[in-house]
């Protein structure tokens, strides 16, 4: 009997340990796309500009707890300068930072040892998990094997790393149960990237959480965590690429999915773009695009003067609050004292424009898109969408997150209104008119907040 009782207790302890790994405090981070390389003689955040400091202040105000600093050439002095600026500010504010090692840039894991070692004991370095270990993430795993990662962790940090890589392009990831059999001993969790958007294609499609669900279930089954991505769109017309990955209602659709999925962590893709290689210029920024780190090619369509995306931030702040408190999309709330918050976004050129359209342009929808978070009293509220002077939809508002992608967009001005008892109380009006075609053919979104 004693042996049976001991076995039961040991089994119960094992289950509790697994639960402790899989269920952690809910946290939201943001990918900081200062890729910290010097492609085409580009620097990153200029020291003394206050830009790194402002990024942290603004992100922290939304409820974002840390930046995942994407670093691809860690030995360069301009990389070290930007990292130092961020850590010096974060140490003063309670904000956290952690490294995301970019194996598309530098494929040798040992190249990152020194910079990780230099900062891993800083007060502002992010720690998590039952053993409160410093977090190291990645952007892909490149050609580095699980055994090589394990050796790197053990030789340099006595194994005491909370390893949370993005491995969704690695071999076997499409069968997560099998993948964790291979990788489970080295990772503490796994981070998705590609599931933030629908797969590239030539027909309109909604974002899916099928892969997130499968990976999260497999992770939790072996006591690991899952960090899910949240993003808006992809449009890139630079650096040898010209492609589109459907945005339309992707951001609020994904919010609703993640609130139902309830992952261990969420990472917003991305806060800002401060360099030109790879993901920079993909248009999914919600923060600042600092001109000192971007080429003129990118700044033509991915800047915060003409193409700001700040007005997505209130939606994301509401999402973060609901996520941390375990509420679903109907439980999203505007800030205290506000009846509603939200934004409209639209593409300024029609998809059939006679210009150099991006790859997968066929998947786009000519639509006025909106996301509006309404308080608990929505009985007399409706959402009215006007395009080119014509009302193309009016629908009752519901408490929580309301969103839509309203087809039938006309050229000219676009308006989304929150209407109460027949009168407009909040309005978002386009800053740039929609046209049938133009020379630029930019598929980025103009984002305008309700005011």
Q: Tokens 């922290």 — which residue? A: 60
Q: Does 321 map to a domain? A: no
Tell me, yes or no, whether 434 lies in a domain: yes
Domain end position, chosen among 301, 322, 352:
301
- Check residue 351 and give its pLDDT: 96
* Whether residue 176 sits in one domain with residue 81: yes
Domain assignment present for residue 311? The answer is: no
pLDDT band at 404 (very low <50, low <70, confident <90, very high): very high
Closest CA to 243 of 284, 299, 193, 189: 284
The encoded tokens of residue 352 equal 């059939």
91/223 same-domain check: yes
- Cα 398 to chain centroid distance, Å, stands at 26
Write out pLDDT tens, residues 90-137. 999 999 999 999 998 899 999 999 999 999 999 999 999 999 999 999
Tell me whether residue 70 is in a domain: yes
Structural domain including 378 reads: 333-449
The whole-model pTM stands at 0.92
- 344 in a structural domain: yes
- For residue 368, which of 307, 448, 284 has the smallest C-alpha distance? 448
222: exposed, middle or buried (C-beta count within 10 Å: 0-12, 13-18, 19+)?
middle
- Between CA 322 and CA 333, with CA 327 as vertex, the angle to 5 degrees is 50
Distance CA 101, CA 43 (A): 18
- CATH classification of the domain holding 349: 2.60.40.1930
Query: pLDDT tens digits for 286-295?
Result: 999 888 778 8
Number of domains in the chain: 2
Identify the CATH number of the domain in which residue 163 sits: 3.20.20.80
One domain, residues 256 and 355: no
**Among 91, 102, 90, 94, CA closest to 52:** 90
Cα gap 439→388, rounded to integer Å: 21
- Would you say 437 and 349 are in contact if contact means Cβ atoms under 8 Å apart? yes
The tally of CA atoms less than 13 A away on the side-chain side of residue 174 is: 2
Direct distance between the N- and C-terminal alpha carbons of the chain, in angstroms, rounded to an integer: 70
Position 72 in a domain = yes
Model confidence over 257-298: pLDDT tens digits?
A: 999 999 999 999 999 876 555 556 899 999 998 887 788 899
The mean-pLDDT minimum among 134-143, 285-294, 343-352, 433-442 falls in: 285-294
Helices (H), 94-175: 113-119, 146-157
Q: Could you give the angle at the alpha carbon of 182 between the alpha carbons of 180 and 185, nearest 5°?
A: 75
How is residue 168 written in tokens? 């969704």
Q: Which is nearest to 226 in space by CA: 25, 67, 22?
A: 22
Listed in order, strand segments (DSSP E) in 199-311 are: 225-231, 234-238, 241-245, 265-273
Where is average pLDDT lowest: 27-31, 163-167, 293-297, 378-382? 293-297
- Residues 30, 87: one domain? yes
Residues 363 and 266 placed together within one structural domain of the fold: no
Q: How many CB atoms lie within 10 A of CB 362?
A: 13
For residues 285 and 345, state if they share a domain. Answer: no
> 444 has which bridge partners?
none
Two structure tokens written together for 334: 């505007």
181 plus 76 within the same structural domain = yes
Instruction: Determine the average pLDDT of the residues in 84-92.
Output: 94
Report yes or no on 116 lying in a domain: yes
Q: Report cis status (omega within 30 of 0) of the bond before 270.
A: yes
> Per DSSP, which regions of 180-305 are E strands?
189-191, 225-231, 234-238, 241-245, 265-273
Closest alpha carbon to 28 in 206, 264, 308: 264
Q: Could you give the percent of the chain with pLDDT greater than 90?
A: 81
């Amino acid at each position: 009997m004693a042996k049976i009782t001991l076995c039961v207790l040991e089994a119960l302890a094992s289950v509790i340990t697994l639960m402790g790994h899989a269920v952690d405090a809910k946290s939201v981070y943001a990918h900081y796309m200062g890729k910290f390389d010097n492609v085409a003689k580009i620097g990153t955040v200029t020291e003394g500009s206050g830009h790194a400091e402002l990024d942290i202040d603004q992100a922290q105000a939304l409820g974002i707890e840390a930046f995942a600093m994407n670093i691809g050439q860690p030995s360069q002095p301009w990389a070290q300068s930007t990292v130092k600026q961020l850590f010096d500010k974060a140490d003063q504010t309670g904000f956290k930072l952690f490294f995301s090692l970019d194996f598309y840039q530098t494929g040798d894991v040992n190249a990152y040892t020194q910079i990780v070692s230099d900062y891993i004991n800083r007060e502002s370095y992010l720690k998590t998990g039952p053993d409160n270990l410093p977090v190291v993430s990645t952007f892909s795993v490149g050609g580095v094997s699980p055994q090589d990662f394990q050796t790197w962790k053990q030789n340099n940090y006595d194994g005491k790393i909370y390893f949370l890589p993005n491995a969704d392009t690695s071999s076997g990831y499409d069968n997560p149960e099998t993948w964790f059999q291979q990788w489970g001993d080295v990772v503490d969790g796994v981070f998705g990237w590609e599931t933030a958007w629908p797969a590239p294609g030539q027909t309109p499609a909604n974002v899916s959480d099928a892969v997130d669900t499968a990976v999260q279930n497999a992770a939790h089954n072996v006591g690991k965590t899952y960090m899910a991505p949240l993003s808006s769109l992809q449009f890139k017309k630079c650096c040898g690429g010209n492609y589109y990955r459907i945005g339309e209602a992707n951001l609020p659709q994904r919010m609703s999915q993640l609130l139902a999925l309830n992952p261990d962590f969420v990472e917003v893709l991305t806060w800002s773009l401060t360099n030109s290689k790879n993901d920079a210029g993909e248009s999914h920024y919600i923060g600042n695009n600092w001109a000192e780190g971007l080429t003129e090619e990118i700044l033509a369509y991915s800047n915060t003067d003409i193409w700001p995306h700040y007005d997505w931030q209130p939606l994301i702040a509401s999402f973060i609050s609901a996520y941390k408190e375990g509420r679903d999309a109907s439980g999203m709330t505007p800030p205290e004292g506000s009846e509603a918050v939200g934004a409209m976004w639209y593409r300024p050129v029609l998809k059939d424009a006679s210009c150099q359209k991006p790859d997968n342009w066929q998947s786009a929808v000519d639509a006025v898109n909106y996301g509006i978070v309404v308080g608990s009293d929505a009985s007399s509220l409706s959402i009215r969408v006007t395009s080119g002077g014509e009302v193309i939809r009016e629908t009752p508002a519901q408490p929580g997150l309301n969103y839509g992608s309203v087809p039938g967009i006309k050229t000219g001005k676009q308006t989304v209104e929150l209407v109460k008892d027949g009168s407009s109380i909040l309005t978002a009006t386009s800053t740039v008119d929609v046209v049938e075609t133009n020379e630029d053919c930019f598929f980025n979104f103009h984002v305008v907040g309700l005011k």
